[in-house]
Amino acid sequence: MCLAPKIPDPMPMPDPAPAPPPAQELPAPTPPPELVNADAKPPKVVSAKTKRAQAQQMARGTNALKIPMNTGTAGKSGGLNIPT
């Protein structure tokens, strides 16, 4: 004689899931790439500026308005950026 409670019978298994639909056909491959500006002129390559030309450009631009940093000249101490 067993004193353990009686275990009920398990529920029946559900029906299997339906099969997935067949694979769709792949779309047609994309065409090869085409050049858009094949007839246009190539870009103009500009040669590097000389040191003199660079200095003249800097004198005309906003760089001429910048105050140079004090680099610790002899006799002065401190790091203030005040031109004298």
Model confidence at 76, pLDDT cuts 50, 70, 90, reads: low
Looking at residues 39-49, what average pLDDT do you find?
Answer: 81
What distance separates the 2 farthest-apart alpha carbons in the chain?
A: 111
9-34 pLDDT, tens digit per residue, is 888 988 989 988 888 888 888 888 88
SS3 content of the chain, % helix, strand, coil (to 5): 15, 0, 85
Mean pLDDT of the chain: 78
Q: Which amino acid is residue 67, in one-letter code?
A: I
Which residue in this structure is represented by tokens 């029906």?
15
63 neighbors 54 (Cβ within 8 angstroms): no
